[in-house]
Structure formats: structure tokens, C-alpha cells
Amino acid sequence: MHIQVKFFASLREKLGVSQMSLDLPHEVKTIGDLRLELAKYSPGWDEIFAPQQNMRAAQHQVMVESTTLLEDGAEIAFFPPVTGG
């Protein structure tokens, strides 16, 4: 499966990258699986994508849960939760 991943706001700053193109292993099927896969990508990413870290995800610009199935060719976006004041 091939997807595009985009990172926004403080995630982009921490990771040092705004987007990437990935070919995923067959066992990566959900948003949660993708987070675990991204945690292996580079030093420090394990802390950022750890399951206890609060972040939001969207697939094709629609908010999704960690159990949402990934679609081949999808555009996935990760961003920190939004706070207001």
C-alpha cells in the first residue's frame, strides 16, 4: 500500500519534515498501525508517535480514529489536538 503522510503544526517542527511518501508493509492496516510504523522511522519518532501521545489524524481531509482502515493512495494528516482560548 502506498500513502502520502503530512504533518502539521508542532508535529512538523518536532519531526523536521512536513510530508512523506510511504510504501507500507502488508501488516499496516489502520491509522494506529501507521503510528506504530512511523515510531520506527527515525530516532526520536518513537516518543512522538507513542500510543499515549495525544494527536489527531485525518484521511482524505476527514477526521478518523486509530481503528480506521487505511486506503491505498490515501492522504493521511497528523496534527496535535487544537486548543482554544
**Cα–chain center distance at 10:** 13
**Amino acid, res. 37:** E
| pLDDT value for 51 | 84
Counting residues of the chain whose pLDDT is more than 70, the rounded percentage is 96
Superfamily of 2-79 according to CATH: Beta-grasp domain (3.10.20.30)
Q: What is the mean pLDDT of residues 17-44?
A: 95
Residues 46, 49, 53: CA angle, nearest 5 degrees: 115
Neighbour tally for 2: CB within 10 Å: 10
Does the pTM exceed 0.85?
Answer: yes
| pLDDT value for 76 | 98
Numbers of helices and strands, H then E, in the chain: 3, 5
| pLDDT value for 56 | 94
pLDDT in tens, 38-79: 999 999 999 999 888 899 999 999 999 999 999 999 999 999
